[in-house]
Amino acid sequence: DTGVSQDPRHKITKRGQNVTFRCDPISEHNRLYWYRQTLGQGPEFLTYFQNEAQLEKSRLLSDRFSAERPKGSFSTLEIQRTEQGDSAMYLCASSLLQGAPNEQFFGPGTRLTVL
């Protein structure tokens, strides 16, 4: 296992369509995070999982967004009825929680373009 992987790397969709992204974390990592990054900005937190439990969601995560992490392994992020404002890079990160917050390892991201 060489790192966090994300699929697809690029997604172009039309407004109103649904899209789903996948993240495979580093295998022994128990925490998985989703962030969104727009042009010229730093990543912004969306949600995170500890094992299979989704423990926090940002107010950025509208009800059109849903995330899952079945069995505490890979995670999916679905956006329903996409809007042009959803165009961004969606980043997944994983870490191993051992008391203090360790560094989060990021995947290459999925770049979403909504036409």
Partner 1 sequence: AQKVTQAQTEISVVEKEDVTLDCVYETRDTTYYLFWYKQPPSGELVFLIRRNSFDEQNEISGRYSWNFQKSTSSFNFTITASQVVDSAVYFCALIGVGAGSYQLTFGKGTKLSVIP
Q: How far is CA 94 from CA 85, 100, 113, in A?
A: 26, 14, 24
- What percent helix, strand, coil does the chain show, rounded to 5? 5, 50, 45
Minimum CB distance to partner 1, residue 25 (Å): 14
> Measured between alpha carbons, how far is 2 from 33 in angstroms, rounded to an integer?
18
Which segment (16-24, 40-48, 62-70, 79-87) binds partner 1 by CB under 8 A? Answer: 40-48
User: Residues touching partner 1: how many (CB under 8 A)?
Assistant: 28
Q: Using the rule CB under 8 A, is 53 a contact of partner 1?
A: no
Which segment (20-28, 65-73, 76-84, 97-105) binds partner 1 by CB under 8 A? Answer: 97-105
> Measured between alpha carbons, how far is 113 from 25 in angstroms, rounded to an integer?
24
> Measured between alpha carbons, how far is 28 from 41 in angstroms, rounded to an integer?
30
Q: Binder to partner 1 among 35, 67, 75, 90 (CB under 8 A)?
A: 35
- Under the rule (CB under 8 A), what is the footprint of partner 1? 31, 33, 35, 40-45, 48, 55-56, 58, 89, 91, 93, 95, 97, 100-109
